[in-house]
């Protein structure tokens, strides 16, 4: 059962416009949420994160919003650039039974920014 | 820093053969994770180690899969015997502390079992 869901497998936007990537989760015990970016033939790299006690975190062109009541988070990229074209993974962290802290990933959304 | 190093980058093997994937974590990192990426299931955590000790292997799909970390600078993921459904990209990641922000991933090993 997918605890972290990215329902859009792909997204295409024009350069300069806003990209909005969405993520839903089911486990209310998640205490930290992250976005990773992945280029082809490379491993995922950390992009931005947010604690469950906050509702917004901003880093340059990237902003993550968290709506705990809706169990929803989103990543906004403004303005989008062609170099942002990659697969974006939403991930969530929680302390599971037995003291195991795990990072659970969604399936990813492929973003294409057209020049 | 060379980052997390995985080898081989690509592996093609025949069904039934043993496959060994290797990982060298970042020096000083005390956590090591093995993930598998497939189209159907995305990125799944298979197993992770803390100070070379396996902590949680609940993600290991079957007894055909095993992982070891004999020392702080090396880990292996072994599949024996391999099956076509094991075809995926396998990532190793390491971190200092289990804090989620600190995961550094390797470039992955693309495994194809024919």
pLDDT tens-digit profile, chain B (114 residues): 679 999 999 999 999 999 999 999 999 999 999 999 998 888 999 999 999 999 889 899 889 999 999 999 999 999 999 999 999 999 999 988 766 666 899 999 999 999
Q: Which residues of B touch A94 (CB under 8 A)?
A: none
Q: Report the Cα B37 to chain-centroid distance in Å.
A: 10
Average pLDDT for A49-71 = 96
Q: Which residues of B touch A43 (CB under 8 A)?
A: 4, 91, 93, 104-108
Does residue A32 sit at the B interface (CB-CB below 8 Å)? yes
Average pLDDT over all residues of chain A: 92
Tens digit of each residue's pLDDT (9 = 90 or more) over A88-97 = 999 998 876 6
Does residue B103 sit at the A interface (CB-CB below 8 Å)? yes
Give the residue on B whose Cα is nearest the Cα of A98: B56
State the pLDDT at residue A2. 75
Does residue B106 sit at the A interface (CB-CB below 8 Å)? yes
Position A1 confidence tier, pLDDT thresholds 50, 70, 90: low
Give the residue on B whose Cα is nearest the Cα of A100: B56
Tens digit of each residue's pLDDT (9 = 90 or more) over A31-59 = 889 999 999 989 999 999 999 999 999 99
Does residue A29 sit at the B interface (CB-CB below 8 Å)? no
Q: Which residue in the set A32, A93, A108 is minimally distant from B42, CB to CB?
A: A108
**Which of B4, B42, B108 should be substituted to probe chain A, the one whose Cβ sees the most A Cβ atoms within 10 Å?**
B42
State the pLDDT at residue A27. 87
Using H for helix, E for strand and C for coil, what is the string for chain A?
A: CCCEECCCCEEEEECCCCEEEEEEECCCCCCEEEEEEECCCCCCEEEEEEECCCCEEEECCEEEEEECCCCEEEEEECCCCHHHCEEEEEEEEEEECCCEEEEEECCCEEEEEEC
State the pLDDT at residue B97. 77
Block residue for tokens 């970016």: A37
């Amino acid at each position: 059962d997918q605890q972290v869901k990215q329902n859009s497998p792909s997204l295409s936007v024009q350069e300069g416009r806003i990209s909005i990537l969405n993520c839903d989760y089911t486990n209310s015990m998640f205490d930290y949420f992250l976005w990773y970016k992945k280029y082809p033939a490379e491993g995922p790299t950390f992009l931005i994160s947010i604690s469950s006690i906050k509702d917004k975190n901003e880093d340059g062109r990237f902003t993550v919003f968290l709506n705990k009541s809706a169990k929803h988070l989103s990543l906004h990229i403004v303005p989008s650039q062609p170099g942002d074209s990659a697969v974006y993974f939403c991930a969530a962290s929680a302390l599971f039974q037995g003291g195991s802290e795990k990072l659970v990933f969604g399936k990813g959304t492929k973003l294409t920014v057209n020049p | 820093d060379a980052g997390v190093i995985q080898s081989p980058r690509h592996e093609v093997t025949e069904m039934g053969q043993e496959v060994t994937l290797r990982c060298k974590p970042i020096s000083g990192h005390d956590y090591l994770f093995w993930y598998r990426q497939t189209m159907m299931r995305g990125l799944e955590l298979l197993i992770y180690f803390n100070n070379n000790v396996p902590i949680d292997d609940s993600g290991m799909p079957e007894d055909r899969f095993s992982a070891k970390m004999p020392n702080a600078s090396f880990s292996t993921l072994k599949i024996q015997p391999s099956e076509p459904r094991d075809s995926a990209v396998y990532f190793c990641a390491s971190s200092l502390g289990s804090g989620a922000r600190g995961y550094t991933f390797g470039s992955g090993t693309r495994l194809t079992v024919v």
